[in-house]
Structure 1
Amino acid sequence: MGRMISRRRVLVGGAAALAGAVSACGGTPRAGDSSTEKVKVLTGAGFQGREAPLLVARAEGWFREEGIDVEVLPGKGSGENLKLLAAGEVDVATLDVSAAMIEASKPDGIRDFRLTTVLHQRNLACFVALSSSGIKVPRDFEGKRLSYLPGGINYVLFPTYARLAGFDPSGVKWVGNPVAPQHAALLAARQVDAISQFVPAVESVRSVAKQDLVVFPFTDYIGDLHGSAMAVSTTTAQQRANVVRRFNRAMLRGLDYCMQQPEAAGTVYAGQPETQGQQAALATAELTALKGYVTPVTDGRVGHFDLGRVARNIAILHAAGALGRGLTPDDIIAPDLAG
């Protein structure tokens, strides 16, 4: 077992912590307001169960109540999502917090964005292999074929993960696939030895592979990192702040509903045009597994950044040599836009 940089127990709070998200957001519904704002938003990667809060909030009319006409588009991983956001192709994008930090720290990196609302208080990244593959510990990845989503956090953080787990990251053979749901099929067909995935989606992988799996969470070696967050451009943060807050209020209602009623949310999610053919039961399983990642690690509110933890996230990446320049929470976080 490699040395951990930092580890923090996740405080799995009671229902009250999540139930408070809606009331904490406040705001007056805008039903019937003629000044409807159109907002294009990218999921993290494709349409998977963990992306349900956006689709549920839309289906339940919560964006509409805030005077927002939202179009939910399939994301392509943090790297590509950030490029599309910076280019003005979308208004809101789902980004992995650490991936965003690493990009912003590069000498020629994209910095024209602000993270507003955190979806996952812990990083979800993992690799999944078949138990029959012989991969038992992370160093067994050397010489193996690993799938990756171009621009995805698993690929971005892999050198840091490998160094802390005690093996050479250069020995891995990468197999890129931009369609996140297809990675499980690659594993089942043994076209790769392990796949990039998020921990809550393991049950979905098992349903495709129909075999026992072994899971390697990044948090075994890299603790106290955030997962995904919603981001807007700096210009949007400054000029459309009210729209961003209204968007986040509706999105947090969707997040709260998914955590409180995962079965009902899974059914709503599976019934949306973008997700036809997906099983509600698998979406429910992913949302159920997600709850411990959404609950705040400290005493903060669901969806809101703890700037102290953001600073620790930066310090961990800096100590691991993953950041190219100095970075502060103020450089990338706009906590006043959380909703």
Structure 2
Amino acid sequence: MTASPKPSLPRRLILGAALALPALRTARAQAPLRFALDWALQGNHAMFSLAEDRGLFRREGLAVRMDRGFGSGDTLVKVGSGAYDIGFADFSGAVKFNAEYPQNRLVMIYPVFDRTAAAIVTLRGRGIEKPQDVAGRHLGAPEGEGSRLLFPAFARAAGIDTARIRWTSMAANLRDTMLRTNQVDAVSGFLFTVHFNLVGLGIPEEQILGWPYAEHGLDLPGSGLFARAEWLERNGESATRFVKASMEGLKLLLNDVPAGMASLKKREPLFDEALETRRFAMTRDRSIITPNSRAQGLGSLEMARAEALVRVNAEAYGIGTPPEAASMFTDRYLPPRSERML
């Protein structure tokens, strides 16, 4: 007796399985990437959360784990040590790190803030109506904080007499309170951080005065994406894909700020969407969208500005032989210029 032929699989199941194979391969090909922010969630971080929520990282074959930060200096150390692959951090501190640990050299692969957010901030009624008025006054900031270390360079650029300035050091979480309670006349810090922290303390916005360094003679880039040079040699494609997705996330955020704030709210229930919307607006208008980024595209950095940034930070940290700027900045991982235009 001849055995009956086995029934064949329905054609639709075969086709379905064939179509599913690329998706399975993609899912298996997701490369893990550890990413550290510079601080607790703030409005500008939505460029990364939107890239995650809208599947941009996944589309680029990346499984990104994003963790909050505890200050740019801490993030730079974590990336340099290999605890994280990429970090978002302010440039201050990177020159010192590279000078001390050249074997763990950090490279900025995407300067997100075309202008540094470092600033002097005070309140009306303190007798300070312009940057030069801080001469002879009592200033405050955490010791070793980037904006404080850059202040001498800012003072030279802005024509501020530093001879009689007195500094008080405090923990970062006490800076705004000490300004509000008149324990110091002014503080240095990131403009959008100090400004909206003061708003959160109940200070009317019209009472807050701030002068960003970049708008008063010290036109330097600010925060961006850093990776370790050794990691980049082995993971250049992942770096390129991460930068591409992050930049697309920024464009999504610029086009739909409420969606970005909602994206962060999902991750932190105490996230203040209204306040962070205003914080991001200041960050966008003072640090991200600038004449340079409009003309040259997001992430554009001329080497002359990079060299100035290295030189100023080397002076701030007392580094006699700083690393070459070309060893700390690269545009190799940026998308084509046509994709970076606003």
Residue equivalent to 1:15: none
Residue equivalent to 2:213: 218
Of residues 307, 317, 323, the one that matches 2:303 is: 307
Conserved in 1, the CA contact under 8 Å of 2:95 and 2:314?
no
Conserved in 2, the CA contact under 8 Å of 1:125 and 1:218?
yes
Q: How does 1:201-280 map to 2 (within 5 A)?
A: 201=193, 202-211=195-204, 212-269=207-264, 271-273=265-267, 275-280=268-273
After TM superposition, give the deviation of residue 331 of structure 1 in Å: 1.1
Amino acid of the structure 2 residue aligned with 1:199: L
Conserved in 2, the CA contact under 8 Å of 1:224 and 1:312?
no
SS at match of 1:79: helix
Separation in 2, partners of 1:321, 1:197 = 17
Separation in 2, partners of 1:195, 1:258 = 30
Which structure: larger Rg?
2
SS at match of 1:132: coil
Change in Cα spacing, 1:55 to 1:189, as seen in structure 2 (3 Å) is: farther
Separation in 2, partners of 1:279, 1:192 = 28
TM-score computed with the length of structure 2 as normaliser: 0.76
After TM superposition, give the deviation of residue 325 of structure 1 in Å: 2.5
Separation in 2, partners of 1:38, 1:214 = 43
Separation in 2, partners of 1:169, 1:250 = 47
Separation in 2, partners of 1:54, 1:177 = 28
Separation in 1, partners of 2:89, 2:313 = 16
SS at match of 2:249: helix
Residue equivalent to 2:332: 336
Residue equivalent to 1:325: 321
SS at match of 1:97: coil
RCO higher in structure (CA 8 A, sep ≥6):
1
Conserved in 2, the CA contact under 8 Å of 1:99 and 1:156?
no
Q: Does 1:286 align with 2:279?
A: yes
> What is the total number of aligned residue pairs between the two structures?
304
Q: Aligned-pair RMSD on alpha carbons?
A: 3.2
Conserved in 2, the CA contact under 8 Å of 1:259 and 1:288?
no
Conserved in 2, the CA contact under 8 Å of 1:53 and 1:258?
yes
Conserved in 1, the CA contact under 8 Å of 2:114 and 2:222?
yes
Conserved in 2, the CA contact under 8 Å of 1:241 and 1:337?
yes
Q: Which is worse superposed, 137-146 or 207-216?
A: 137-146
TM-score computed with the length of structure 1 as normaliser: 0.76
Residue equivalent to 1:194: 186
Conserved in 2, the CA contact under 8 Å of 1:37 and 1:68?
yes
Conserved in 2, the CA contact under 8 Å of 1:141 and 1:172?
no
Residue equivalent to 1:78: 72
After TM superposition, give the deviation of residue 255 of structure 1 in Å: 1.2
* Long gaps (5+) in structure 2: 1-22, 336-342
Residue equivalent to 1:18: none
